[in-house]
Structure 1
Amino acid sequence: MKTQVVLSVIIFVVLFSIDQVIKFGFANFDWNVKGPYMSLHLAYNYGVAFSMFSFLAQYLKYIQLAMVIVGFIYLLKNKEVFKDYWFAITLLFVGGLSNILDRFTYGGVVDYFYWHYGFEFAIFNISDVLINIAVAIIIYTQIKQWMKERKQKS
């Protein structure tokens, strides 16, 4: 488990730093680039996914920070969960904390990937991608575990 914690911290620091440097660049310099399929375009999201709950903009950072703290406390009390899902949890914490820092620093989450080929899609950032990858890993692991248990019962 010690190795997993060390790897988790290293991955967290590297990905968090990369994400924050990119967001700083978009927020402070003109890094916008128009592409035929996808553009890089600065936008601030004051809500959550697809700007839902933007009416809570000034409170979201505190609500989300409280959720992360509760999750961290849960992991301290349930170390086996971290052991089984350490990589996905690391990605969730990177994405979540980086977006929360944006709310404190810029007043909203810094988004910049904008898909616009064929249909207009949401604008998002690397943190959002990491969160989605983490959820996919957790779902995949849960399905795999369920299938294994189901097979053992038969």
Structure 2
Amino acid sequence: MMPWLLIAAVVVIADQLTKLWMVKLLDGVPVIKLTAFLNLVLAYNKGAAFSFLASASGWQRYFFTGVSLIAIVFILYFMRKNAGQKLFCWAFALILGGAIGNLIDRLLYGQVTDFIDFYIGTWHWPAFNIADSAITIGAVLFILDELRRVNRSK
């Protein structure tokens, strides 16, 4: 179980350090253009993915904190139970690290710091961070692991 927790810890550390760096770098700077499809911007999200419930009256902070804590316990349980399944544990380690990274923001600041702005033409994906990226990659790995498991059982 320890290797998986170390992977999660690396995600948390990378997430928190990049958020601190971007807050300093982007202080007073509206946007830093990196490529024809990628900017750095400073955005704060009081909601969940895609700013879901971001405009609610404040209760969402506690709701998403609770959801994160429940998810963390669930992930730890299943990682311990399936510690020998590498792809499964990689997926959950990434999701765990991302969940903890965003949970830290909610607990300390009441909102999640986002800074990666991916776009095509005038269409912009909602700003995101390292934790969100780890969660997304983890979810894709989890789906691949499940598809692999289903195909083996046929």
Cα distance, 1:114 vs. partner? Answer: 0.6
Q: Is the 8 A contact 2:105 2:111 kept in 1?
A: yes
* Equivalent residue number for residue 112 of structure 1: 115
Code of the residue aligned with 1:107 in structure 2: it is G
Distance in 2 between the 1:42 and 1:60 partners?
Answer: 21
Q: Does 1:87 align with 2:87?
A: no
Instruction: Give the gaps of 5 or more residues in structure 2.
Output: none
Q: Which position in structure 2 is the counterpart of 1:102?
A: 105
Structure index of larger Rg: 1
The CA RMSD measured in Å over matched residues stands at: 2.3
Answer 1 or 2: which has greater helix percent: 1
C-alpha offsets along residues 81-100 of structure 1, whole Å, 9 cap, x if unaligned?
45432221111111111111
Q: Is the Cα contact below 8 Å between 1:12 and 1:94 reproduced in 2?
A: yes
Find the counterpart in structure 2 of residue 13 from structure 1. Answer: 9
Residue 22 of structure 1 and its aligned partner are, at CA, apart by: 0.8
**Match for 2:138 among 123, 134, 139?**
134
* Structure 1 residues 95-139: Cα deviation after superposition (integer angstroms, max 9, x where no partner): 111111112222211000112332222111111110011111111
Runs of 4+ in 1 over 6 A off after TM superposition: none
- Give the TM-score normalised by structure 1: 0.81
TM-score by length of 2: 0.81
Report deviation, 1:17: 0.9
**Equivalences for residues 50-65 of structure 1 within 5 A:** 50-56=50-56, 58-65=58-65
Question: Equivalents in 1 of 2:39, 2:11: separation in Å?
Answer: 22
Is residue 112–residue 125 contact of structure 1 (8 Å, CA) maintained in 2? yes
Aligned equivalents of 1:83, 1:60: Cα separation in 2: 36
Letter in 1 for 2:107: F
